Amino acid sequence: MRSQYLLKTNQQFLQQDLPDLPIALKQNFEAICNTALTQDPYGCFGLPNHQLKGDLAHCRAIEIDYNAISYRLVYRVYESPSPKRVQIISFAEHDLAYQIAKERK
């Protein structure tokens, strides 16, 4: 299936968030990006996800549990201007992911 959304990341995410993740989550991130986020960022092919509120009201989060720890992948979907895109904001343990996202948004 062809990607409908362009995936965007930033240097902070690549240099700070990804290196701190367990290897299995890094692999999951690649799989999620290549499918759920580029093709179905609102439904995520059934992965647990939700719209955020408050300071992050325009963002969404995918809920990922790994080794009894809750992680969140926080992102924002832009439908316009073209091309449609998904901006990755943060990926970290639950509370930290939201704190980082607020700082970066």
Domain boundaries, position 58: 6-104
* Structural tokens at position 62: 């995918």
Give pLDDT, residue 33. Answer: 86
Q: Tell me whether residue 1 is in a domain.
A: no
Q: What SS3 string covers 49-80?
A: EEECCHHHCCCEEEEEEECCEEEEEEEEEECC
Give pLDDT, residue 1. Answer: 59
- On the question of pLDDT at 2 being above 80, the answer is no
Do 47 and 62 form a contact (C-beta atoms < 8 A)? yes
**Dist. CA 95–CA 40, nearest whole Å:** 25
Return the H-helix or E-strand segment holding 86: strand 85-93
Greater confidence (38 vs 1) lies with 38
Q: Tell me whether residue 76 is in a domain.
A: yes
Q: Tell me whether residue 34 is in a domain.
A: yes
Phi, psi of 77 (to 5 degrees): -105, 130
What rounded mean pLDDT belongs to the chain? 94
At 28, the pLDDT band (50, 70, 90 cuts) reads confident
In the chain, the number of structural domains is: 1
Q: Tell me whether residue 16 is in a domain.
A: yes
Give pLDDT, residue 5. Answer: 96
Digit-coded pLDDT (tens) for 44-77: 999 999 999 999 999 999 999 999 999 999 999 9
Share of the chain above pLDDT 90, in %: 87
